[in-house]
A = this chain, B = another copy of it.
Amino acid sequence: MATADAAMIAVDWGTSRLRAVLLDGVGVAIEERESDDGIGTLSGGHEAAFEALVTGWPPVPALMAGMVGSRQGWREAAYVPCPATLETLATALLRFTSERGRAMAIVPGLVVRDPARDGDVIRGEETQILGVLAGEPDFAGLCLLPGTHSKWVSVAQNRISDFQTYLSGEMFELLSRHSFLRHSVTASGRDLSASPDFALGIRRTAVEGLPFPAAIFSVRVRQLLDNVNREDNLAYLSGLIIGGEIAAAIAAGRLRGDFPIRIVGTPSLAKAYVSAFAIVQGMVTLVDGSAAVVAGLRQVARASGLLTTEQPQ
């Protein structure tokens, strides 16, 4: 398809990556490009980084999601309170015109307030959820977006009602690479979640009720007293952390036996959670996270008039 058909650019701009997809008037992808100019690596120069990536594409409007709307981003798009729908988000778009005259818009993040934990925020994930809902408008259940900061998002009746962030990915990095446990574990590139040691970790924190703070030192003990090898022990640590996350979510009522779960992310990241839910409970389906962002941006574009044509049948 030629760029002459282009109607808009869907932009997924996170902390470490910038990705742009040129769409035609009905939302079909014409071309896709990607760069390392994540928000975390830039200090200003957002327009230049964006225009460098889309060089040669027509001057169509761009709709962006992710950290691009944070305080460190191109423009700060204030958080919108939950519950939130596609219409809420489309109405709250932060619109501006770039210095080169391009019409730009940023999908805002979401905020929940909760006296038990102050509250929570997401930015970027809301658009992925809209992408999930584009595929299954009647979905009611849990969308889990694993990562450095894992997000559990409750969805029903086409709206995002609540969510919670867990630091599981970051905790895994800290404990396996920066704590004294680094001497008790080692990475091997192997699929950790297939290991019986991963399953043991999940069972202890998510099934047997061992609180996460009471569980961590066992990583050292297993190596010291039982000569568990460091590869297996890394799988065990990963299991303890993900199991601790699941236990905390169960305690908060975020996971019930009859809740369907969509794991939205890259297959490699999602795999550990699929293994974990196989041990705990849950009807899990995987959703490709990159595709979900673009699907979500398409939905917002339609709801806000950036794409005027109806979705093709």
Is A52 located at the chain interface by the 8 A CB criterion? Answer: no
* Smallest CB separation, A126 vs chain B (Å): 16
Q: Which residue of B lies closest to A228 (CB)?
A: B118
A164 to B214, CA, bound (A): 8
Report which of B117, B148, B247, B252 forms a contact with A218, defined as CB distance below 8 A.
B117
Give Cα A179 to B168, complex, Å: 12
Contacts of A170 in B (CB 8 A): 179-180
Contact of A166 among B214, B224, B245, B251 (CB under 8 A): B214
Q: How large is the interface on A (under 10, 10 to 19, 20 to 34, 35 or more residues)?
A: 35 or more
- Contact digits for A204-239, partner B, Cβ 8 Å, 1 yes 0 no: 100011111111111001101110000000000000
Q: Say whether A248 faces chain B, with CB atoms less than 8 Å apart.
A: yes
Interface pair B119/A225, CB less than 8 Å apart: yes
CB of A116 closer than 8 Å to a CB of B:
yes
Known contacts A170-B179, A216-B167, A217-B167; is A247 also within 8 Å of B204 by CB? no
A47 at the interface (CB under 8 A from B): no
- A213:B214 contact, CB within 8 angstroms: no
Q: Identify which of B213, B226, B252 contacts A248 (C-beta below 8 A).
A: B213
Query: With a CB–CB cut-off of 8 A, which chain B residues contact A80?
Result: none
A175 to B213, CA, bound (A): 14
**Cross-chain contact of A225 among B111, B216, B221 (Cβ < 8 A):** B111
A-B contacts, 24 listed (Cβ < 8 Å): A116-B210, A117-B204, A117-B214, A117-B215, A117-B217, A118-B222, A118-B226, A121-B221, A121-B225, A164-B214, A166-B216, A166-B217, A167-B179, A167-B216, A171-B213, A174-B174, A174-B178, A174-B179, A178-B178, A211-B211, A211-B247, A211-B252, A213-B247, A214-B249
